Structures are given as C-alpha cells and as structure tokens.
Amino acid sequence: MVRILLALMVKEVKELVRDPKILLGVILMPLILFPIMGSAIGVSQESAVRAASSSPIAIYNEDKGEASKSLIGFLEKNCTVIAFEASSLEEALTELDKEGYPALLHIPLGYSANITSGRKAMVRIYANLRDLTITETVGAEAAANLINIYSYQASLSRIERLLGEVGATYEAEAVRSPIAIHYSSLIKGSLIEAPPQSIIGLVISQSVLLPVLVMVMLMFAIQMAATSIAIEKEQKTFETLMTLPISRIAILAGKLGGSIVVAILGSIAYMMGFSFYMGSALRFASQMPLPIGEVGLSPSPIGLLLLGCIIFITLVSGLALAISIAIFTDSVRAAQSLVGVLVIPVVVPAIILMFTSLENLPAGFRWILLVVPYTHSIISSKAALLGDYFRAFGGILYISIFTGSTLYIASRLFSTERIITSRIGFRRSLRTQE
Amino acid sequence: MGIAVEASGLVKNYGRIQALRGCSFKVEEGEVFGLIGPNGAGKTTALRIVGTLLKPTTGWVKVFGVDTVEGASEVRKMIGYLPEDAGAYPNLSGIEYLRFMAGFYARRSDIDAVVNEGIQISGLGERLVERIRGYSKGMTRRLLLARALMMRPRLAILDDPTAGLDIIHAHHIRVKIKEYVEKGGLTVLLSSHNMLEVEYLCDRVALIDRGIVIEEGRPEELKDRYGAENLEKVFLEATRVG
C-alpha cells in the first residue's frame, strides 16, 4: 500500500514539476521574479532618492531683506541653491520649467518685514512635476524639511531671546511645546514601550501577511489540483488508473499527496522570493516596523507548530475541495472556471480581517464568515502568534472537521462512476459514450 | 476452453438516455472478440462495464466467473484496459510510464522484466527515454498497448485500438495483438470501426446497434448468412434489417 501510494505521489510530483507552466508559475516565478522586482524597486528608489537629494533648489527671492538672506544662507549650507534673477514670478516659473530643477522656493516681498515685526511669514514651494513620478516630490519635500528645521531653530532662538528679556528661566523647547506624549501599549497584561500604531503595524506585517501569503499559495494549489484532475480526465488517464488493481482511495491520496508536496515547494519558493522582495524594496524605507522580538511578540515553538498545522490543514482542505469540484468537469477550462468560484471564500475573509477584527463586524456577517473555514485559517494564525492556543486549536479543529468531510465526499465521488461520466460537459461526454 | 466474459441483459441509463438496452454476449477464453457498431451504439459503454469503470443499471457481467460489480477489485487484477483515444502522462518519459504502471502489478524484483516486455511490445526503442509530450498519436497508442499487454493480463479490453493511426502504427498494433494471443493465455475484447481490422484480428464478432447485440458469430459465418462479400456489407445489411 505504501509503495503504491509513493508511486502515485512521485508520478504526480513529476507530472506537476515538469510542467513548464507550473514550474514557472509556482516555483521559478516567485524565486526569480520577486527578487528582480524587489531589486528593481530598491535600485530605482535608491537612485531616485540620491538624485533628488542631490538636486539643487531654485530660489526666487523678491524680498531681498535680512531675514530672507538668513534663510537662503541656511539653505546654502545644507544643499545646492540656484538663485533665479528673474523680473517676475512668471519668468522664474518659466525658467524652472526650462531648467528642470525639481522645486522652486518663492520668497515673496514682505517676508523679512513680517519676520522682524513678529508676524507669521509665508514662503511658497513650487514642485516641478515633469514626468509625474512619485520621486519628483522628493525635491519639494527636501526643501520643505529644510525650511521646517530653519523655522524650528528660528522659533527656539526667538523664544530664548524673549525669555531672556523678561528674565524667565523656562526652557525654550517647553514653551514652544509644553506637553509631550509618550505611548505605551498593553498587550495581554504585558507593557510594551511602543506606540500602538507600531504594534499594529507589526502584527499586520507578521500575522496577516502570512495568511495572505497562504491564501495566494492556496489559490495556486487549488488551480493546480483542479487542472491536474481535468487533464487526467481529458487525457483519459483516469480511466486507465481506475482499472488498475489499486484502491480508489489510494488514487485520491496519491493525487492529494503529490499536490501538497508541490504546493509546499511553491509556498517555500513564494515566501523566500517575497521576503527577498520586501527586503530589497524596503531597503530605503525610513520607518521599518519594530523587530518582532523587541515587543515580545515572537511566536513560541508551540505557536509556530500550530501555525504549521494551520497552513498544512488549510492546504489539504483546499486541495480536497478543488479535487471534489474538478471531478464534475470534463475539461481544463471548465475545471479552472469552476474552482475560480473558490476565490470568494478564500480571499474575502483575508481582506476583511486585514482591516478589522471579527468582533467588530455585524453579528450576521460575523457568523457567515465563521462558517467559512478559511476565516479560521487567519484567526487561528493570529491566535497562534499571540499565544492564544485555545483559539488556535479551535480553528484547527474546525478546519479539520471541514477537511475530513470534504475528503470523505471526495473519496465517495472517487468510488462512483461520476469520475468517468462527469456532469459538467456531460453532453460532450455522452457523445463519446458509444 | 472456458468463458472469459459473459454479459447478460446489460442496460445502462445516463439520466434519460439509454446507452445499452439489454445487451448480451459471450467471449470464449483465448479468442479475439470484436464489438462492432456505429457511433453511439453502446460499444464503449459495454467495454467500460466489463472494465469495472461503470456499473450496469440492470444486468450483469462476469469476467472469468467473477462479477464486475461485486468482485471489481478481483476483475481488475485480470484485465488490461485501453480506453479509446487515451493519452498518457505527458511529462513522464515512456520508460517512466511503463515502470510506473508495472509497479501496480509486479513485485519489485519482477518490475525490470515486465518493463522489458513493455519495451518489446511498444517497439519504440530509444524514443522511450523521451518525454511522452513529444510522442505522435501512433507512438502514444503503441506505448499504451504495451502498458495493457506487458502484464500478461488474462483479458485485454481494447477500445478502438487503432483509431486515427497511420498504416505503420496500426499494423504494428494489430501484429502485436495477434502475436500475444497466439502466445496463449490472452483473451481480447475489442471494439473497432475498421472492418478490415476486425476480419484480420477477430475470431468472432458481435454487431451492436442502439444498445443491443443484433448479430453474433464468426466473420465467415456472418458473411455467408447475409451473402455479403465483407463485414462492412454484413454490418450495413444487419443494421438495415434490425
């Protein structure tokens, strides 16, 4: 029995892995395309940021007063400044367009007078969007950041001067901003010195990203298994298999086993490729999430084991469902169309639970989602990560019951002649039944 | 010689459509028996019932005395089934396919001998190391015939074994079937649209039309009975009369 099962699985793996479409789509594409995409994004970001940060800021100064000269002096120390000697703003903007500088700083007449008389002064930054790309905003942002720094320092020095004049001993920083907010987060009784946004960002990236990846992998696996069944039916290799002296359960188990092996290979390739993509693409991101270990959210070995169980049982359930559905079809196109419907129960819970928790949903909608086994894949993954093992076990139990039922139905279908006669495309199959 | 296949009163309904309407025939051990009839006559359905793929709505089939429904797994040990217009696994090589199939019948120590037999039957030589994806229809059919015969089954069920093949591949298949029957121990139940092939291969034939057997006998007997010069004319006359 083991030898037969192994032979069926090996055949299935060979058939799937040697199929150029599956090899490319499930294994090579994530391993090659994701790193290439990540590197491309990383390199383009790097070069764009480098180009933008080294780009000069054009200045059209109508004011000519001391305060504006002080601002320009500060900017000259921190970046390259190109002074436009234009007779009007329109002429300066025409030159900006012609020269292609990323941004123009316009210091209007009266700027210095406002500064010296204690009124709020205004400057205007014109961003030059020639190609309408995201990186073109970097030049304007760099100018705005420098002006904010200058404004902050000017504000502090003015407060210090005023405090000196009245003989007060206050800190200039405290006068400018008397209340500072410090965030802490309480997670299941543990105090973590981090803002809630960072924690949630971390949980989303770690516990939702994984189920989303599993969902993508699941869709691949479902399509793969359905296609494999449909090809066997189209090629009539199933007819041959069904007349061999082996049990039909062994045929089903071999098909499931082979599909699971390829799906796991695909998921490993997907996760490797995706982690490389994230690493490459986010190399220059300024705010990376907190390291998971620092906030005490590292999954325990039991949590990881449960996570593995959830992924595995979810895969088996999806494959069993795909096979049960594909049995009714008589062509690859019909099988793919039919299992395409499974996108709804697989993807909808993943998307909803990315943005909210189940408890926040209306009761009716919550119960509908709870009936869908793949909702439990996500809830249980998060529960395993957060150490809520009871909930994780509950999810695994529910998915297992669903999987068991699906496998039972699939095995019953395999034992009937439905697999030969089929229902969808029945007219065509009848024509061939002489 | 005993009875290899006995089909009695076979009825098979697909919903409202009746594919077989009380079909009965007997195949003697060691003979080549042909089911001939027009498209939609019920030949494939009858062969699928004998091959344990379908269950009759009513009636029964016994293969060497074993009921195809009650003793399906026992019957499967005795048969080699070749579906009409079937393919093989395109991403396996010919050798891998034969080895995969041999593993279900033979002991580990006997697999090489069985595969060698398959290689001989197929006559595909070095092409067997190539992926089946690149095989022509004729090559695939030869490989599938090799798979069906290499295990030396007691009964080979061949559904239109040479349909759509060129002369060379069709000839190879007919010769191999004849050769294996003459070696002894093999009974063949086949369907075909090629009357020349039926006359060349079959010891006895049954004419099947609209789900029932309308004539049965040796090709020579049938030709004499209808005063026809060949089976094609017998067939046309029998279906007209029927």
Residue A92 has pLDDT above 60, yes or no: yes
Return the residue of A nearest to B212 by Cα. A434
Alpha-carbon distance A12 to nearest alpha carbon in chain B (angstroms)? 9
CA distance A124 to A172: 27
Q: Is A366 on the interface with B (CB under 8 A)?
A: no
Alpha-carbon distance B20 to nearest alpha carbon in chain A (angstroms)? 9
Residue A434 has pLDDT above 60, yes or no: no
Q: Is A217 exposed, middle or buried (0-12, 13-18, 19+ CB in 10 A)?
A: buried
Q: Is A249 on the interface with B (CB under 8 A)?
A: no
Q: Is B203 exposed, middle or buried (0-12, 13-18, 19+ CB in 10 A)?
A: middle
Under an 8 A CB cutoff, do B44 and A245 touch?
no
Q: Are B33 and B202 in contact (CB under 8 A)?
A: yes
pLDDT at A64: 86
Alpha-carbon distance B136 to nearest alpha carbon in chain A (angstroms)? 14
Query: How much of chain A is helix, strand and coil, in % rounded to 5?
Result: 70, 5, 20
Residue A425 has pLDDT above 50, yes or no: no
Rounded (10°) CA dihedral A239, A244, A249, A250: -120
Residue A426 has pLDDT above 50, yes or no: no
Under an 8 A CB cutoff, do B108 and A420 touch?
no
The token duo for B40 is 């939609």
The CATH-assigned architecture of domain A54-177 is: 3-Layer(aba) Sandwich (3.40)
pLDDT at A291: 52
> What element of type H or E holds A239?
helix A237-242
Average pLDDT estimate for A334-339: 84
Q: For Cα atoms B187, B42, B104, give the angle at the middle one, nearest 5 degrees.
A: 45
pLDDT at A31: 79
Strand, helix or coil for residue A343:
helix
Q: Which of A11, A420, A431 is the closest to B48 by Cβ?
A: A420
Among A192-201, A238-247, B17-26, the minimum mean pLDDT is found in: A192-201
Q: Give which of A73, A132, A77, A72 is closest to A105, Cα–Cα.
A: A72
pLDDT at A433: 45
Q: Are A139 and A57 in contact (CB under 8 A)?
A: yes
DSSP, res A422? -
CA distance B109 to B104: 13
Q: Is A19 on the interface with B (CB under 8 A)?
A: yes
Residue B169 amino acid letter = H
Positive or negative, the CA dihedral A122, A128, A134, A137 is negative
Q: Which of A15, A245, A433 is the closest to B104 by Cβ?
A: A245
Q: Which of A245, A247, A433 is the closest to B44 by Cβ?
A: A433
Rounded (10°) CA dihedral A407, A409, A414, A419: -130
Q: Domains of chain B: which residue ranges?
A: 3-241
Q: Give percent of chain B above pLDDT 90.
A: 62
Q: Domains of chain A: which residue ranges?
A: 2-44+194-432, 54-177
Per-residue confidence at B203, pLDDT binned at 50, 70, 90? very high
CA distance A151 to A136: 24
The residue behind tokens 């696994």 is B89
Residue A423 has pLDDT above 60, yes or no: no
DSSP, res B107? -
Per-residue confidence at B33, pLDDT binned at 50, 70, 90? very high
- Neighboring chain A residues of B137 at a CB cutoff of 8 Å: none
- Neighboring chain A residues of B37 at a CB cutoff of 8 Å: 434
Phi, psi for residue B6 in degrees, rounded to 5? -130, 115
Q: Which of A18, A244, A417 is the closest to B104 by Cβ?
A: A244
Average pLDDT estimate for A411-432: 63
- Neighboring chain A residues of B13 at a CB cutoff of 8 Å: none
A351 or B43, which is more confident: B43
- Neighboring chain B residues of A245 at a CB cutoff of 8 Å: 73, 76-77, 104-105
CA distance B102 to B114: 6
Residue B75 has pLDDT above 90, yes or no: yes
Among B28-32, B69-73, B139-143, B238-242, the minimum mean pLDDT is found in: B238-242
CA distance A378 to A395: 9
Return the residue of A nearest to B54 by Cα. A417
DSSP, res B157? E
pLDDT at B32: 94
* Chain pair A-B, CB pairs under 8 angstroms: 100
Average pLDDT estimate for B8-29: 91
Under an 8 A CB cutoff, do A236 and B88 touch?
no
CA distance A33 to A44: 16
Under an 8 A CB cutoff, do B53 and A239 touch?
yes
Question: Does pTM surpass 0.80?
Answer: no
Average pLDDT estimate for A363-382: 87
A interface test, pick of B36, B74, B104 with most A CB neighbours within 10 Å: B104
A interface test, pick of B13, B18, B53, B150 with most A CB neighbours within 10 Å: B53
Residue A285 has pLDDT above 70, yes or no: no
In order of B2, B28, B82, B228, the CA distances from B222 in angstroms are: 23, 18, 27, 8
Q: Is A415 on the interface with B (CB under 8 A)?
A: no
Under an 8 A CB cutoff, do B14 and A431 touch?
no
Residue B25 has pLDDT above 90, yes or no: yes
Residue A26 has pLDDT above 90, yes or no: no
Please give the mean pLDDT across all residues of chain B: 90
Note the ipTM here.
0.90
Please give the mean pLDDT across all residues of chain A: 81
Q: Which of B37, B89, B147 is the closest to A11 by Cβ?
A: B89
Q: Are B80 and B117 in contact (CB under 8 A)?
A: no
Q: Give which of B99, B53, B3, B2 is closest to A242, Cα–Cα.
A: B53
Q: Give percent of chain A above pLDDT 70.
A: 85
- Neighboring chain B residues of A236 at a CB cutoff of 8 Å: 83-87
DSSP, res A44? H
Positive or negative, the CA dihedral A190, A194, A197, A200 is negative
Average pLDDT estimate for A2-8: 88
The token duo for A407 is 């496998």
DSSP, res B131? B
Cα of first residue to Cα of last residue in chain A, in angstroms, is 35
CA distance A14 to B92: 7
CA distance A59 to A203: 45
A209 or B217, which is more confident: B217
How many C-beta atoms surround the C-beta of residue A402 within 10 A?
20
Under an 8 A CB cutoff, do B39 and A434 touch?
yes
pLDDT at A210: 62
CA distance B159 to A432: 12
CA distance B151 to B134: 25
pLDDT at A313: 85
Q: For residue range A383-417, what is the model confidence (pLDDT) as tens digits?
A: 887 778 898 899 999 999 998 998 888 888 887 88
Angle between helical axes of A34-53 and A248-281 (0-180°, round to 10)? 10
Per-residue confidence at B165, pLDDT binned at 50, 70, 90? confident
Contacts of A137 by beta carbon, 8 Å cutoff, 6+ apart:
A127, A129
Under an 8 A CB cutoff, do B40 and A431 touch?
yes
Phi, psi for residue A132 in degrees, rounded to 5? 50, 50
- Neighboring chain A residues of B39 at a CB cutoff of 8 Å: 434
A38 or A14, which is more confident: A14
B46-60 core/surface letters (b: 16 or more CB in 10 A; e: else) = bbbbbbbbbebeebb
Residue A279 has pLDDT above 70, yes or no: no
Phi, psi for residue B13 in degrees, rounded to 5? -110, 135
pLDDT at B242: 52
CA distance A134 to A140: 11
Average pLDDT estimate for A302-315: 82
Strand, helix or coil for residue A395:
helix
CATH 3.40.50.300 is the classification of domain B3-241? yes
Q: Is A272 on the interface with B (CB under 8 A)?
A: no
> What element of type H or E holds B190?
strand B187-192
**What ranges in chain B are assigned the alpha helix state H?**
43-50, 72-76, 94-102, 111-122, 137-149, 167-183, 195-201, 219-226, 231-241
CA distance A91 to A98: 10
Q: Which of B19, B85, B191 is the closest to A433 by Cβ?
A: B19
CA distance B94 to B102: 12
Q: Give which of B101, B20, B28 is closest to B55, Cα–Cα.
A: B20
Q: For residue range A169-212, what is the model confidence (pLDDT) as tens digits?
A: 888 889 888 898 888 888 767 777 777 877 776 666 655 566 66
Average pLDDT estimate for A149-164: 90
Average pLDDT estimate for A30-49: 74
Q: Which of B77, B91, B100 is the closest to A18 by Cβ?
A: B91
Average pLDDT estimate for B1-9: 90
Average pLDDT estimate for A366-370: 91
CA distance A47 to A44: 5
